[in-house]
Structure 1
C-alpha cells in the first residue's frame, strides 16, 4: 500500500467517524427534545387536573387545614365497551393533586349542589337502566340547561314544577320518591354517571334530546317532537327545527 492509498483510507475513516458522531448528536438532540416535549405535556395535563380538582373541593372539608398542603384526590372517569351493559364506567385515582386558587371554593360548593341534583335525576329516573341509559337521562338534563326554554341551572331544570302536585318535569320530584334517600352502589354509580356527563366525556347518546318517557306510556306531548332513539326502557325526543315543522315531520325512526 502506497502513501496516497493510506491517506485516502485515513480520510474515509475520519469522514465515517464524523458522520457517525453527527448522527449520534442528532439522535441525542431529538431525544432531549422529545423528553422536554413530554415533560411539558405532563405538566400541562397535571395543571388541567389540578384546576379540575379545585372545582370539586368543598369549603367545609378545608376548615382549619393549611390549604397549601391539603391533599386532594379525584377520579378520572372513562367509558369502556362492555358486551352486556353496552358500556361501563371505569375510574382511576389521581394522587398528589393539591389545592390551588381559593377563588374556586365558592364555585366548588355550587358545583357540588348541581352535581347532586344531576345524580338524583339519574338515580330516581334510571337506576335500573344500564350505564348508557343512565347517561342518556343525565344528558337530557344538560341539554335542557343549554336550551333557552328551560332554567339555566341543573337544579333548576330537575326541580322545575316540583312545587306543584302536577306539572313537575321529572316525576320523582313530586311523587314522593324523594322520601327514599339514595344509597348503596346504585347511588355511587349515579354520582359517577353525573360527573361523567357533566364533564362532557363522550358524545351525546340521546342526539340532542330534551324529553323522554318510558315505553309503557305514550304521552300526548310527544306528537310535537322529533323522536331521536330508544335506549333501554326510555324513548327520547328533541324539539323539531323550523324546516321539520313546516314539512310536518315530528318523529324519526330509531337508528
Structure 2
C-alpha cells in the first residue's frame, strides 16, 4: 500500500503565554483500492497521521522560536512501503509569504484600542449628536497623547476602573457595563471610533482633556480652562502658564 500525507505547518511562538504554538492542517490522499483489508488500511493511515504530527512536534521543540520569527510554511509527505517502512519528506513552500508575529500583535492591539474607544463613546455619549460623540472620542485621544495620562486608549478609558470611586470615566466603575453594548447605538459608536482613530475628525474641543455633564458642577473644573459646550457636556483643557496664574489669583 502507498499512502501520502500532505501537511501545511504554521509555527510560531505565543507572545502572551510564552509557549510554542503548533498548528497543523493535514490533507490525506489515499492511493488504495477498496480491498477486504480496508479496516487494516485505515489503522495504518491513522498510525501514519500520528507519525506526521509527532515529527512536526519534534521539529518545533528542537527549533526555538522567538517573537520575531515568521511563520514557517512547509509540506510534509509520508510514503509507506512494505519494505522500507514510512519515509517522511519535508519540502518548503516558498511561494507563501511569511507572517510576522509583531504585525499580528499590532493588529490585536489596534482592535483592542478601537473597542475601548467605542465603549467610551457608547456608554458616555450614545444619546448625544454625532458632534457630541466625536468630542468624547477626542478627549480620550487627547489624554492618550498627554504626559499626565496613560499612553494608550484602553489605558486612558479604564484608568482607575479597579476602584469603586475615582475612575476617570464613570461607566467603568458604576456597573453600566453589566449591560453589554448593542444595536444601532453600538454600531454607530464603533463607526465614530474608526473615524476618530483614522484622523478624519476635525478637532471640536480645542484640546480638551476633561468634560462633565451639565447636570453636575465638579470641584476640579475650577483649575481648568473651559473650552466649549457640546450637547449635554462641557469641555475643559489644562491651563497654560499665564492662565494658571490668573486662575490662582481668582481663587485667592
Pick the TM interval, shorter chain: 0.5 to 0.7
Q: How does 1:216-231 map to 2 (within 5 A)?
A: 216-231=215-230
More helix by share: 1
CA distance in 1 between partners of 2:145 and 2:249 (Å)? 21
Cα deviation for residue 155 of structure 1 reads 0.5
Are positions 1:246 and 2:250 aligned together?
A: no
CA distance in 2 between partners of 1:192 and 1:220 (Å)? 34
Cα–Cα, structure 1 residues 139 and 176, in superposed 2: closer, same or farther, change >3 Å? Answer: same
CA distance in 1 between partners of 2:248 and 2:198 (Å)? 33
Are positions 1:142 and 2:141 aligned together?
A: yes
TM-score by length of 2: 0.58
CA distance in 2 between partners of 1:112 and 1:250 (Å)? 46
TM-score by length of 1: 0.58
Are positions 1:124 and 2:90 aligned together?
A: no
Whether the aligned pair in 1 keeps the contact of 2:223 and 2:247 (CA below 8 Å) is no
How many pairs does the alignment contain? Answer: 155
Unaligned 5+ runs, structure 2: 1-23, 26-96
User: What is residue 76 of structure 2 aligned with on the other side?
Assistant: none
Q: Secondary structure at the match of 1:227?
A: strand
Cα deviation for residue 250 of structure 1 reads 10
Are positions 1:185 and 2:174 aligned together?
A: no
Q: Secondary structure at the match of 1:248?
A: helix
Provide the alpha-carbon RMSD of the alignment. 2.2
Unaligned 5+ runs, structure 1: 1-62, 65-98
Cα deviation for residue 241 of structure 1 reads 0.3
CA distance in 2 between partners of 1:166 and 1:191 (Å)? 27
